[in-house]
């Protein structure tokens, strides 16, 4: 009974979003209300514990939202100036080989876009571009969806990874390396699935070399970046490495000479300026001795006392999530947005009223998801404070035992498919996955790596993303067709993640 009731808020969210097609903000509110009622009446949480859970959630929410708000702001600053269009126009100049175009655009460029933007941007930008290059609308949606899966967790300036750190209370040195390792392996396989989906085994065999070289470069770049603490630009650096290696490789393998003279180098450099500022600021804060500790003097947070429920579930006293405002990834993104705006303004790339349009579209786009994230995080923290997450973990560990590592990525994927995002899946399931790993005596970092990798893969099968892809490629009403094409490849990537997790917890 404990297990069933503890699972109820999650089931309610999933059921409402999938069965009744509710938006995440509505379904999240229903999940929150269910969690409060069940925590109060069945798990006997008291008023102070419930109040502290709400306050703890506020800091987690701000931590997550600061990145989401400013990441989207930076993307809008670049998009309003036409920077994304410049990138999209430039890449087809490189090669006439359709298979190579699929790899460079739908894999490397999609990963780059996921690194800087996320929020469904890769498919929305690339699908019309591929249709324009002569790809079928179905492939135009499916290829970038598969290509950017591996860059989701450390993409969107690390929003999903940050969500996992916030909910579990674990820091980046514990979580980043295993997650980057899993995602790196999946990243190479993502290239394989792009080639297979485009042209089957023939294309895969023909393009094995660029797949290997680009895949290894992107995975290595992401791993090295995040394992040195730059987790907020892991996806960006992975995607950039893919472009830096893939573009010369494409020139070398199948040079499109006709387009040579028109290559817009200057425009390309200006378009990328905002992201250059972001990388530079991130590196400066990490590398200049004493700068980060100095900036970290400004922090916001609260200490919380120990609580105990009527059923005897105790949460020890301790600090909640601390927000280091000046060194926060959100602050770096805000400064990068301001710098990028000034650069584009100086280059004369903006039309009158650009700033108003940027702020308006950013506000309208992020406020709905802010409400859904708020209710989902509050639900997750209440469940943890009331002992509901503990009850779920006990149920899963006794039911699955040593086979749990095989199931962990599928749980992450399920959460992402149902809630529409890797970050939401991490917010809902990370605490549960960590607790279950602890009960089974498994290394939590590997199980959480499986959670976020599964979430990243599953997010591209989320109905919301499928619908966005269908609209941008002119395939409205044919969402089922898109999903049918994607599912075998998604299942393959999840099976690979299950296998990696199982081997990792056994032998590493």
Residues of this chain that interact with other proteins (CB under 8 A) are 23, 25-26, 28-30, 32-33, 36, 47-48, 50-52, 54-55, 57-58, 61-62, 302, 304, 363-364, 367-368, 370-371, 374-375, 378
* Distance of closest approach, residue 433 Cβ to other proteins, in angstroms: 25
33 vs 220, beta carbon nearer other proteins = 33
* Distance of closest approach, residue 489 Cβ to other proteins, in angstroms: 35
Cβ-contact 39, 388 below 8 angstroms: yes
* Distance of closest approach, residue 374 Cβ to other proteins, in angstroms: 6
295 vs 371, beta carbon nearer other proteins = 371
258 vs 303, beta carbon nearer other proteins = 303
Compute the Cα dihedral for 151, 153, 156, 157 and give only its sign.
Answer: negative
* Angle at alpha carbon of residue 9, lines to 60 and 158, rounded to 5°: 30
* Distance of closest approach, residue 37 Cβ to other proteins, in angstroms: 9
62 vs 218, beta carbon nearer other proteins = 62
* Distance of closest approach, residue 479 Cβ to other proteins, in angstroms: 23
Burial class (CB in 10 A: 0-12, 13-18, 19+), 508: exposed
* Distance of closest approach, residue 258 Cβ to other proteins, in angstroms: 47
* Distance of closest approach, residue 367 Cβ to other proteins, in angstroms: 4
**CB atoms near residue 338 (< 10 Å):** 15
* Distance of closest approach, residue 123 Cβ to other proteins, in angstroms: 24
Q: Which of 78, 62, 162, 163 is nearest to 117 (CA)?
A: 78
Cβ-contact 201, 155 below 8 angstroms: no
Q: Tell me 308's DSSP state.
A: E
What does the alpha-carbon distance between residue 158 and residue 154 come to, in Å, rounded to a whole number?
4
328 vs 486, beta carbon nearer other proteins = 328
Instruction: Classify residue 264 as left (phi > 0), alpha (psi -120 to 50) or beta.
Output: beta
What does the alpha-carbon distance between residue 140 and residue 48 come to, in Å, rounded to a whole number?
53
**CB atoms near residue 506 (< 10 Å):** 11
36 vs 108, beta carbon nearer other proteins = 36
* Distance of closest approach, residue 308 Cβ to other proteins, in angstroms: 15
Query: In 327-353, where does DSSP find H-type helix?
Result: 329-346
* Distance of closest approach, residue 315 Cβ to other proteins, in angstroms: 14
50 vs 334, beta carbon nearer other proteins = 50
- Is residue 304 within a helix (H) or strand (E), and if so which, with residue range? strand 303-304
Q: Which of 188, 294, 299 is nearest to 241 (CA)?
A: 188
E-strand ranges in 317-456 read: 318-319
* Distance of closest approach, residue 361 Cβ to other proteins, in angstroms: 11
25 vs 296, beta carbon nearer other proteins = 25
46 vs 174, beta carbon nearer other proteins = 46
Cβ neighbors of 384 (< 8 A, separation 6 or more) are 53, 315, 390, 431
SS (H, E, C) 313-334: CEECCEECCCECHHHCHHHHHH
Cβ-contact 388, 428 below 8 angstroms: no
CA R_g for the chain: 22
54 vs 202, beta carbon nearer other proteins = 54
182 vs 304, beta carbon nearer other proteins = 304
* Distance of closest approach, residue 385 Cβ to other proteins, in angstroms: 12
Block residue for tokens 């966005």: 468
CA 430 to chain centre: 14
209 vs 302, beta carbon nearer other proteins = 302
Query: In 104-207, where does DSSP find H-type helix?
Result: 110-116, 121-132, 137-147, 159-168, 172-206
Cβ-contact 262, 311 below 8 angstroms: no
**CB atoms near residue 174 (< 10 Å):** 14
């Amino acid at each position: 009974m404990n297990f069933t009731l503890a699972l109820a808020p999650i089931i309610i969210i999933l059921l409402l979003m999938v069965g009744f097609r509710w938006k995440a903000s509505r379904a999240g509110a229903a999940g929150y209300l269910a969690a409060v009622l069940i925590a109060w009446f069945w798990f006997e949480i008291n008023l102070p514990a419930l109040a502290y859970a709400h306050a703890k959630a506020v800091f987690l929410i701000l931590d997550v939202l600061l990145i989401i708000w400013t990441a989207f702001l930076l993307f809008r600053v670049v998009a309003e100036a036409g920077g994304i269009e410049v990138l999209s126009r430039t890449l087809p100049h490189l090669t006439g080989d359709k298979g190579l175009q699929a790899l460079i655009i739908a894999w490397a460029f999609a990963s780059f876009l996921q690194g800087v933007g996320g929020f469904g941007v890769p498919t929305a930008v690339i699908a019309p571009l591929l249709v324009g290059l002569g790809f079928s609308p179905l492939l135009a949606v499916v290829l970038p969806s598969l290509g950017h899966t591996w860059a989701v967790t450390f993409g969107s300036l690390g929003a999903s990874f940050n969500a996992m750190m916030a909910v579990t209370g674990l820091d980046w040195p514990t979580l980043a390396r295993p997650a980057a390792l899993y995602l790196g392996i999946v990243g190479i396989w993502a290239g394989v699935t792009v080639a297979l989906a485009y042209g089957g085994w023939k294309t895969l065999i023909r393009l094995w070399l660029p797949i290997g070289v680009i895949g290894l470069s992107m995975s290595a770049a992401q791993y090295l970046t995040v394992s040195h603490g730059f987790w907020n630009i892991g996806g960006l650096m992975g995607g950039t490495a893919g472009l830096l290696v893939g573009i010369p490789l494409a020139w070398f393998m199948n040079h499109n000479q006709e387009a040579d003279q028109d290559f817009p180098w200057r425009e390309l450099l200006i378009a990328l300026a905002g992201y250059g500022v972001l990388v530079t600021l991130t590196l400066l804060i990490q590398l200049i001795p004493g700068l980060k500790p100095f900036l970290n003097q400004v922090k916001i947070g609260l200490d919380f006392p120990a609580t105990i429920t009527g059923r005897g579930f105790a949460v020890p006293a301790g600090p909640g999530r601390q927000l280091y405002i000046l060194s926060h990834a959100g602050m770096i993104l805000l400064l990068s947005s301001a710098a990028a705006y000034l650069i584009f303004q100086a280059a004369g790339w903006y039309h009158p009223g650009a700033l108003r349009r940027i702020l308006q579209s950013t506000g309208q786009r992020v406020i709905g998801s802010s409400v859904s994230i708020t209710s989902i995080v509050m639900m997750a923290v209440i469940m943890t404070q009331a002992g509901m997450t503990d009850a779920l973990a006990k149920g899963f560990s006794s039911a699955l035992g040593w086979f749990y590592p095989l199931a962990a990525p599928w749980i992450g994927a399920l959460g992402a498919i149902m809630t529409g995002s890797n970050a939401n899946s991490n917010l809902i399931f990370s605490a549960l996955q960590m607790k279950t790993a602890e009960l089974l005596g498994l290394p939590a970092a590997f199980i959480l790596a499986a959670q976020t990798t599964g979430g990243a893969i599953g997010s591209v099968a989320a109905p919301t993303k499928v619908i966005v892809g269908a609209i941008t490629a002119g395939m409205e009403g044919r969402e089922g067709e898109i999903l049918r094409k994607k599912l075998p490849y998604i299942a393959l990537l999840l099976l690979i993640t299950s296998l990696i997790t199982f081997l990792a917890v056994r032998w590493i």
